[in-house]
Structure 1
Amino acid sequence: MGYMIVPLVTKSSWLDGRAYANELRCCIRRKFKAIRKQNFNTQILRPIAGGLKALTRLKGLHLSNNSFTDGLPEVVSRLNLLESLNLYGCKLTGLPATLKALTRLKRLRLSNNPFSDGLPEIVSQLSLLESLNLSRCKFTRLPATLKALTRLKVLDLSNNFFPDGLPEVVSQLNLLESLNLSNCRLKRLPAT
């Protein structure tokens, strides 16, 4: 016995709601190929990952609070029209190199993930990024390659710990308009 609440506004191509995995998989494959934004939080993605590839026009995908301990599902890298990807709290320790196929990505939320070797280098290859949320990732440093994100306007580094001060690469992000450093326990800021 299942239920499905699906408020669908056809003009904006939004689908949001709750459903049992089998029902949602059915809807994705048969009815909603034109969906542009989808919210799959709280661990329902695994059973329906195969159905995601049918969403060829998807521009926004929220996968917050899933448990991707085996890594991000490959199907996400195939959604090449994505402009916004939310991976908040997904227990990610790294990101696949295939993520660079998301060449239109403008907004990426990676907050609250325990990246084991710091920020994955692949993030620096997402050249159209305008907004990057790295809060609560327990970072102590950032890679110098981050300066390749020449279009970055919003950077959230809150709730990380930078014992040597703000990473120098931040001062090289010339278009930055918003920088969140709340609760980073900074002792100094760079002179430039």
Structure 2
Amino acid sequence: TGYQLQRFGTERLVPGLVAIAFTRELGPLITGIMLAARIGAAFTAELGTMQVSEEVEAIEAMGIGPLRFLVAPRLLALFLLMPCLSTIANLAAIFASCLISRAYFSIAFVYFLDLVRDALLIRDIVTGVLKSFLFGLLIGGIACYRGLSVKGGAAGVGTATTSSVVTSIATVIGFDTMYNIVYTVFFPT
């Protein structure tokens, strides 16, 4: 993008484009896809193994609700973790873009940060953080549901884990698309 903008003398737009694109869209989406693949698979495999080895039934026999004991902590962890990781991804992307802009377009660090600050709106940040919270709930909910509904031994755990990852990634992308449609209807700038 920077090279195309440089042809027209507008490479100073790169910092704002990167900041908005990552804060509102790419940061939460890429982080959600990574967490769906890594943590969603781990949650599904762990709960699926517990389901197959009848540990979930043992927890129920002790009078402890598996949703409160097994699912709620995982949902809360992803709900709180996603915005933190998304923020780190956003900062890393902006910093990397700053280094590249300095090397290729001679944009000074301080000037780059001024352009980012001028381009980035509070609603862009809020949108990215809100998406991150919701992606965490979606990924955690799908992973826990697939894990607790495993049947068929070790093969069932593998199938459920694969299904959980694919479903989570597709759901995150689909939800992101729907969120963006609703966002552009209510904030048409």
Shorter-chain TM-score bucket reads under 0.3
Q: What is the TM-score normalised by the length of structure 2? A: 0.22
| TM-score, with length taken from structure 1 | 0.22
Q: Which structure dedicates a bigger proportion of its chain to helix? A: 2
Q: Which gives a bigger RCO, structure 1 or 2 (Cα 8 Å, sep 6+)?
A: 2
Comparing both structures, which one devotes a greater share of its residues to strand?
Answer: 1
Which of the two has higher C-alpha Rg? 2
